[in-house]
Each structure stands twice: as structure tokens, then as C-alpha cells.
Amino acid sequence: MSPDQAKAEETKEEPKAEAPKEEKENFYDQLVRLKAEFENYRKRVDREKPELMRFGRADVLLKLLPIFDLLHKAHEQIQADHAETELAKGMELIFKEFQKIFKEEGVTMMEPAGKPYDSSKQEVLGTVAKDGAEEGVVVDVLQNGFMVADRVLRTAKVRIAKKEA
């Protein structure tokens, strides 16, 4: 074997000996990063889980709101016309049960009447020329809006005041 060939073989062996050490360090760094990413993912999921469950329930509550609206109108009508009948008492119990469920789930009814219009919580379905009312103030509530915690479940449908021309 010539001296040049011996040097070539020595140089070939040296990088092979160092490559596994570099690979080990590289794999270890990747493992440490992957572990940290997984821990961050797990913590994020733990934080988001209650919120996701709460807003999953909000979807069901949103589907119940049209039924609540109808029962609310019927309740008001029965209370006005037949307050002492068994039907009125039964409607009162149904209505109270809805209110109990809404309270447990953190659902609150918006009360926008007389307050300035807020585009994030209300939808304008018309304007009304009204004496003494400031422009942009909610005059009529056509459909009640609801909130869950600090989020809008359903926007209120309202009419706002405008200046007379």
C-alpha cells in the first residue's frame, strides 16, 4: 500500500468516527425539541378543553332559542289573558325550567333597549323616526339577543332611532 493510499484510508475513517457523535447530538437535540413541543401541545389542549366543551354546549343552546322565544311569547300571552288557569301554571313551570337551564349554562338575555347601537351584539332591521330619542339608540327589540359568558350566542334584532328629516 502506498503512503497516499494509507492517508486516504485514515481520512476516510476519521469522519466516520465523528459522524455518529454528531448524529447522536443531532438526534438528541431533535428529541429535546420534540419533547418540548409535545409538552406545549398538551398544555394548550388542557387550557382549551373547557372552552371547547362550553362552546359545544352553546351550539345546543342556540338551537333551543327559537323554542324559548315561542314559549316566552306564549307565556306572556297566557299570563295576560288566563293568569289563574292550569295552563298558565304549567307554562310558568316550563318557562322557569328554561330560565334555570340558561342560568346554569351562563346564558343571559341582552337588554339593548334605550342603549346605543352596538354592531357586535345587535343587528339593525330598521330605523324609526322618534321624537326625543338620540340618533343610533335602540328603540325597539324585535328579537332578544343572548350571551354565553362574554360571547354573543345570538345577536339581538333591533330598530334604532334616526333623526327626522
Encode pLDDT of 2-45 as tens digits: 655 655 555 555 545 566 888 888 889 999 999 999 999 999 98
Instruction: Classify strands 138-143 and 146-148 as parallel, antiparallel or unpaired.
Output: unpaired
Domain shared by 79 and 137, yes or no: no
CATH number at residue 153: 2.30.22.10
The model carries a pTM of 0.62
Residue 52 sits in the same domain as residue 126: no
Are 7 and 55 in the same domain? yes
Residues of the chain above pLDDT 90, percent: 18
When divided into structural domains, the chain yields a total of 2
pLDDT at 156 (0 to 100): 93
Phi, psi of 117 (to 5 degrees): -65, 135
Tens of pLDDT along 99-126?
A: 898 898 888 999 998 888 888 999 998 8
Cell numbers of 67, please?
Answer: 323554542
Q: Which residues in the chain belong to E strands, given as ranges?
A: 107-109, 122-129, 138-143, 146-148, 151-154, 156-162
CB 156 within 8 A of CB 123: yes
Domain match, 12 and 75 both: yes
127-142 residue pLDDT tens: 888 777 788 888 889 9
Secondary structure of residue 140 in the 3-state scheme: strand
Tens of pLDDT, residue by residue over 63-96, are 889 988 888 888 888 888 887 888 888 888 888 8
Q: How many CA atoms lie within 13 A of 44 on its CB side?
A: 6
Domain range for 135: 108-165
